Amino acid sequence: MLRTSITIVSLGVLLAACSYRPYAGNVKPLGEEHQAAGVSVADDGTVTHKQGRLEIRLRPMSDEELNRQFAINSQQGARSTNPYTFGNSKYFMTGETPRRFTVFKLSVKNYEYPKVRLAGDMVMASSNGRKYYALTLQQLDTYYRTYAQAYRGNEYFDYKQRRSILKSTSFPPRDIFSGQEEEGFIVFKPLADDVEDISVTIEDIVVRFDFRGEPAESIEASFQFERDVGVIYPDGRIDLSSQ
Amino acid sequence: MSREVGILIALCTLFLAGVGQAAEDFGARLGVRRGGEVNFEPYGSGVLFDALDPAVKKWYVPQELFTEYQWKQWEYTNYARSPYERYVDTAIEGDYFYDIYGGFLTKGWLVFDWSVEEPEAAGSRLLKTSKFSDFFSRLVVSSDSRGQYFASVMVGEKIRTTLTPLTLSKPIFDGIQADLATDKYQATILASRPSGFRSEATTPNERSNITNLVGGRFVTQIGDFVKMGATYVNVFNARTRGQAFQGNPLKGSLTEAQNADITEIRIRLSDDSPDDLEGGTAFFMEEVIIATKDGQHISNRRRLQNDDGTESSILEYRPQIEGGFQKEGFRTADGRETITLRYQLDGPEYKAAFGPPAAEIEKLEFRLLLANDYRIDITSNNQTNSNNQPVFLSQGMPERTIRAAGNVKDGSNQNFVQIAYGLPTANEIFGFTLDVQNAAGFDLQAEYARNRQHKRFPRFNQFDPTKHTHAMEHADAWLVNVSRRPYPLFFYGEAYSMDPNYSTSSYMVLERGDTGPVDYDSQTLAVYELVDDNDDQDREVDWQRRGQGAADRFVFPGWDENNDFIADFNQNHIEITRPNLKPDWEEPFLRYNVDRPQFLFGVDMNNNGVVDRFENDNEPDYPYKRDRRGFNIYGGSFLGPYARLAMGRLEEWQLADDRSSTMNYALLTYEQDFAQLGKLRIYENLRRVEDDIKDNLLVWRIADGIAGEIVPREDPLPARDAWVNTVYLQFDYGRSERFNFISKFKYEFFKQVGYDDWQANSRILPGEDIRETSSFLGLINKIDYTQQIGQLVIQPRWKSEFHRYVPILKEDPFEKSTTELRESGFLIVRYPLLPRTTLQAGTEYLWTKQYREKAKNTLQGSPRTEMIGALQITNRSAYQGYEIYTQMGLRVSRIDIDFLESAQTETFLFFTIYAGFGD
C-alpha cells in the first residue's frame, strides 16, 4: 500500500512538472482586410460598421479596462461589485483572477433612419464551432441573485449595486431614433480556452418599419476579432499556439 | 425724615424708570449661553418680576407670557371670525429629552432604552418603543468616521453577527453591536439582554432577574502577513436587587427563584456507550464533603480540617443507592441501566447523623470512585423543570454532562471524579486567533478557545448573590489550518480538537414572573445559543430557541443554487400559496430536465453516505464537531489545465468515546470543454475507510406526496471497514443549436472488508445493519431537438434513465432496493397565437420496467406507464406597471401501475395570474 502510494505520488509530481495552464490574451479586432466591406478598425480597437450615416461600433473591453472604469467596485477582493469582472479577487487554488465574462462596448449612432431597433440576437461565434449568445439582464440578475446570501442587507446592497451598474451601463433595449446615439456593454459568457478567432454578429437590426410599426427591413452587422491563445508554464513562459 | 422720604422717592423714580426701559426677560426659554455654546439644560421655573401683581383674582392664562396675554385673567372665546380648530396631539413632534448631565438632547421620540439600576427591584429596564419598528424597522445605526478611523454603533434585531465560529456566530443576534475599524486594528463590542429583548411596548420591560450578554473581539495586523485576534463572550445571569460592584458579575449570579436551600441531590451514573451493553459505569464508592458557612468541612468518609484548624468528625451518612447490578466490589450500570445516588439533606437518616442543616451548607462536593465508561449527571431540588421536577442539565444541553474518556471496559481507568455542585450562572468563552497570509507561500488560520462554565451553590440565607460559592468547569477547542498552493502543486492540512463538553449554550432566565426561574430541560425556552445551527446559511435559525422564533422548517443546504429559497428539486413548490407535492424528477414534463438527487456527486469526508455539502444537522455550526480530535492532510497537483489529483489521509477520533475514523483517499477531477463536441466531466473518488463515528443528520426529504420535510437520518456507519468508490461522468453535447444530448453516469459502492467476521462477532444494532456491498449505478441519456416551422416550434425529447440502487441498510424505512429502467418520450409544441399570447401543447409517455422482483410489489417500484397530455395558454402583458402573466390550461394523466388493480386518471386545470416586474 505504501509503495503504491509513493508510486502514485511520484507519478503525480512528475506529471505536475510538465503542468501548464491555458493562456488567453485580450480580444482585439482583426485588420480591416478581414472585416466585411464598409467596416473600419480604429486604433483603440473599435470596429465600426457603417451604413450611410448609421454607425454601429463594437469595441472589446479587457478586464483591466472594466476594472478601471468601475474602480471603486473592483478593489474589494471577493466582495468586489463590478458586475463585469471578478475585480481583484483571486481563485484560491491558483491565485489567479479568472475572467468572468466577455464584454464589448456597443455604440450605435443613427443619423440615417427615422428609427433603428436592435431586435435580434447578438451572437459570438468562434472559428472552432463555439457559439455564445449575449446575456440578458434577467440572466445576469439571476446569476448575481445567488450572491445575496440569505438576503442580508449588506449582500443585498451588493446585489443591487451590481444590478444598478448593469442597468445603467449595459446597452439599452430601446429604439434609437434619428439623431440619437446609444451606447452600452453587451456581455457574453467567458470564452473557452481554445477560442482564437471570433465573429460577433448583431442580427436583425431593423432600419425600416411599416405603417403598423412592424419591422419591414433589417440588416446585420458582423465584426471579426481574435486573441492570442496558448499555454503558460509554471515558470511564466508562454507558448502561443499560433507560433 | 424729609431726607429719607426724598431718597425713597428717588429710588422709586429710578426703579420705575428702570422698568420702563428694561427689555423683556425670556428666562431660560432662549437657552443659556456658556463658553460660546448655547445649552438648554433645565433650570427650573424662574421668578417673574414683571408679572408681580398683588391681585386676589387667579390667573388662568400663563403668567410667564404676560406680555402676549397681557394682564387678563380670562378671555372670552368667540370663534365667529376665526373658526375653532381642534386640539393637536401634544407629542406630535415628540417629547423632550435630556442626558444625565442635564444637557438638552432633542425634541423627538424615545426609540430604545436599556438601563440597569442596582440595587433595585426590576432594575433592568429594556424599552423598545413602536418607533423602533415603525421608523427604523428594528435597526438603528449610529456611525462616525475620520481619516482611517471608522466607528458605528447599532442596536437591532436580527443582526448577522460573527466573532469567530468557535465563540459567537448568530444569524439573528438581538442587541447592541459597536464596531471600530482602523487600518491596523478592528474591534467589536457586543451587548445584549436576551431576556425579553424582542418585547416591544410603551412601557419598559422591567426585570429583577435577567440574562445578559457581553462580548467583543479585537484584531490587530502585525506586519504584512499576520493578523492576531482576541475574542471574549460571556452570557451571565444577574439580579438587580443586589448591591452594585459586589463580586465579579461575569461569573453570574443565581436568580431569586434559584436562591433556595439544597435539600436533595441526585447523582445518576450511566453507561456512556449504552449501545454496546457492557463496560458501563463501575461504581465503587462515594464521598460527600460538606462545607458550612461557619467554616466546617465534613465528610462521610474521613476527617477533614476545619477553617479554625480543628478536625471534623465523620458524618455517618450514606446516600440512598438505586439501580445497577451489584458485582464483586462494585456496582455497575451497563447499557440502559442507571445507578442513582440520592442525598436527602432534610431526610431522617441525615438528621439522625447530625449532618449540618441545609441552610448552613455553603458548598457540596462529591468524590466518586468510578471506572470504565461512566457518565455522570447531577441534579437537585433546585434544578428543575417547569413542573418543579428535578432534571439533569444534559436534558437541556446534551454536552453538559461528565463523560469518561474513551470506552474503557477493563477498569483500568479507575479514578476519583470530583464534582462541586452548583447551578449554572454564566457561560464564558475567550480565545485567540491567528491568521497568516502568504508567509513564505503558506497560509495559516488558527483559533483557540476556552469555555468556562460557571456555577454557584444556592443557599437561601445568602443575600449577596455573588457570594454563593462559585465553581467552574472548563472545556477547550482549537483548530489549525495550513495550506500552500504553489501551482501546479497544492498542499492542505488541518488539525483540530473540540472537547465533548465545549458549550456555547447558556441557561437563560425565564420571564415567568419576576423571580427568574430556569427550566433546565427546555431547549426551546431556556437556552441561549452563541453559535447557532444554520446549516443552510439563510436568515432563519434551524432550531427553535427563545426569542428567535420558530425553527426553520425549510433546511436544504446545497439544494438552492439559485437562491430563491425553494428547494431546487421541487422548484415549482410555493409553501401554502401554491404547494406542489411531487418532486421535480417525478413530475410530468419537469422530469426531463431534473434528475434524482442520487446522481449528485460530492465529497463525503464523514463517510455517512451523504455528500457533506448537502448535510444538515442539529448541532451548533462549529467548524468541527464536538467531541472530535483529528487531522486531515492532502496534497496533489494539477495535471495539466483540466485535471487535478489530490491524495490525502484523515484521522479523527472521539474524545469521550472509543470511536475513530481513518481514511486514505484520492480525488481525481477532470473537466474539459471540447470545441466541437461538448463538455466532459469526470470525477473519481476512491477511499479506504475505517470509520465508526456516528454522524447523524437531518435530511430534506422530497417524495411523492411530500413537498419537502425534515426527517432524521441515523448514520448507518456504511464505512466501518470498507472500500468506497464514487465515479461520475457527464457529457453535455451542446454544439448544435437545435440538438442537445446529455449523458450522465454514476457508480458508487461501499464494499465492506471482513464483513462476515463483523456479522458473526458483533452485536449489530438495527440502525447499523448494513449490507456487505451497497451501491448506486445510474445512467441517464437525454436528447432533445428543437425545430421551428414558421412560427410553430416543435420539440421532441427523449429521456432514458436506468438506476440500480442497493441501499446501505438492509431495512431502510425510506429507501428500497430497485433496478429500474425508465424510458420517456415527450413532444412539446409552442405556437404564438398573438404577439404576447402563446399556446403550448405537450404530451409525454413514460414507461418503466422493474428488474427486481421484490420491488415489483411496491407502489414506488412497480412497473408502470404514464400518458400525459397538457395544454397551456400564456399571455404576458403590461398592466399598471406590472408584467402580468396570465396562464390557463389543463393537464390530463393516465397512470397505469401494475401493482394497482386499475389505472388512475388525474386531471389538473388551472387559471393563474402572476404579476412581476418584467426583465
Query: Rounded distance, CA A124 to CA A200, Å?
Result: 4
Q: Each residue of B435-490: pLDDT tens digit? A: 999 999 999 999 999 999 999 999 886 677 677 899 999 999 999 999 998 888 99
Binding-face residues of A in 112-151 toward B, CB within 8 A = 126, 128-131, 136-138, 142, 145-151
pLDDT interval class at B1 (50, 70, 90): very low
Q: Each residue of B727-770: pLDDT tens digit? A: 999 999 977 888 999 999 999 999 999 999 999 988 888 899 99
Whether the predicted pLDDT of B572 surpasses 80: yes
Taking an 8 Å cut-off on Cβ atoms, the answer to whether B637 and A93 are in contact is no
A104-A110-A112 Cα angle (round to 5) = 140
The mean predicted confidence, pLDDT, of chain B is 91
pLDDT interval class at B918 (50, 70, 90): confident
- Identify each DSSP E strand in chain A by its residue range: 21-24, 28-29, 39-41, 47-51, 54-61, 102-110, 115-118, 122-126, 131-133, 176-177, 180-188, 197-209, 215-226, 229-232, 238-240
Query: Rounded distance, CA B780 to CA B660, Å?
Result: 37
Taking an 8 Å cut-off on Cβ atoms, the answer to whether A21 and B641 are in contact is yes
Q: 3-state SS string over A144-162?
A: HHCCCHHHCHHHHHHHHHH
**Do residues B125 and B204 make contact, with C-beta atoms less than 8 angstroms apart?**
yes
Which of B635, B640, B647 is facing A20, going by the closest CB pair? Answer: B640
* CA neighbor of B715 nearest in space, from B646, B661, B668, B753: B661
Instruction: Name, of B194-198, B472-476, B671-675, the range with top average pLDDT.
Output: B472-476
Q: Is A195 on the interface with B (CB under 8 A)?
A: yes
Give me the mean pLDDT over the B580-594 stretch: 92
Q: Is B917 on the interface with A (CB under 8 A)?
A: no
β-strands B112-116, B104-108: how paired?
Answer: unpaired
Residue A144, min C-alpha distance to chain B (Å):
9
Query: Rounded distance, CA B614 to CA B624, Å?
Result: 16
Burial class (CB in 10 A: 0-12, 13-18, 19+), B766: exposed
The C-alpha cell at B739 is 440538438
Taking an 8 Å cut-off on Cβ atoms, the answer to whether B637 and A13 are in contact is yes
Mean pLDDT by 10 residues, chain A (243 residues): 63 61 92 91 95 95 96 91 92 83 96 94 92 91 88 90 95 94 96 93 95 92 95 86 68
- Residue B616 CA from chain centroid, whole number: 12
For helices A153-169 and A137-145, give the axis angle rounded to 10 degrees.
160
Whether the predicted pLDDT of B65 surpasses 90: no
Q: Write the CA distances from B847 to B524, B800, B802, B825, B865, integer angstroms.
A: 49, 10, 12, 9, 5
Taking an 8 Å cut-off on Cβ atoms, the answer to whether A152 and B539 are in contact is yes
Taking an 8 Å cut-off on Cβ atoms, the answer to whether A192 and B675 are in contact is yes
Give me the mean pLDDT over the B584-612 stretch: 93
Whether the predicted pLDDT of B184 surpasses 70: yes
Residue A194, min C-alpha distance to chain B (Å):
7
Partners of B160 on chain A (C-beta within 8 Å) are 150, 152
**Which is it for the CA torsion B250, B256, B259, B263, positive or negative?**
negative
Partners of B919 on chain A (C-beta within 8 Å) are 136-138
pLDDT interval class at B15 (50, 70, 90): very low
Partners of B564 on chain A (C-beta within 8 Å) are 145
Q: What is the pLDDT of residue B20?
A: 44
Q: What is the pLDDT of residue A79?
A: 87
Q: Is B197 left (phi over 0), alpha (psi -120 to 50) or beta?
A: alpha
Partners of B667 on chain A (C-beta within 8 Å) are none
Taking an 8 Å cut-off on Cβ atoms, the answer to whether B637 and A130 are in contact is no
- ipTM above 0.90? no
pLDDT interval class at B18 (50, 70, 90): very low
SS3 call for B340: strand
Query: Rounded distance, CA A46 to CA B871, Å?
Result: 49
For chains A and B, what is the number of CB pairs under 8 angstroms?
Answer: 85
Q: What is the pLDDT of residue B21?
A: 45
Q: What is the pLDDT of residue B16?
A: 45
The C-alpha cell at B118 is 442596582
> Which range has the worst mean pLDDT, B216-220, B655-659, B897-901?
B897-901
Give me the mean pLDDT over the B825-853 stretch: 96
Query: Rounded distance, CA B159 to CA B152, Å?
Result: 14
β-strands B264-271, B374-380: how paired?
Answer: antiparallel
Whether the predicted pLDDT of B148 surpasses 60: yes
Give me the mean pLDDT over the B485-502 stretch: 94
Q: Each residue of B230-287: pLDDT tens digit? A: 999 999 999 888 766 667 889 998 998 888 899 999 999 999 999 888 999 999 999 9
Which of A19, A20, A95 is facing B637, going by the closest CB pair? Answer: A19
Residue B342, min C-alpha distance to chain A (Å):
50
Give me the mean pLDDT over the B590-619 stretch: 93
Give me the mean pLDDT over the B22-39 stretch: 68
Q: Each residue of B66-91: pLDDT tens digit? A: 666 666 667 788 899 888 888 888 88
- Identify each DSSP E strand in B193-323 by its residue range: 205-207, 209-222, 226-239, 264-271, 281-292, 297-299, 320-323
Residue A159, φ and ψ in degrees, nearest 5: -60, -45
Taking an 8 Å cut-off on Cβ atoms, the answer to whether B675 and A126 are in contact is yes
Partners of B640 on chain A (C-beta within 8 Å) are 15, 19-20
β-strands B792-806, B787-789: how paired?
Answer: antiparallel
Give me the mean pLDDT over the B329-339 stretch: 94
Taking an 8 Å cut-off on Cβ atoms, the answer to whether B675 and A231 are in contact is no
Partners of A93 on chain B (C-beta within 8 Å) are 485, 490
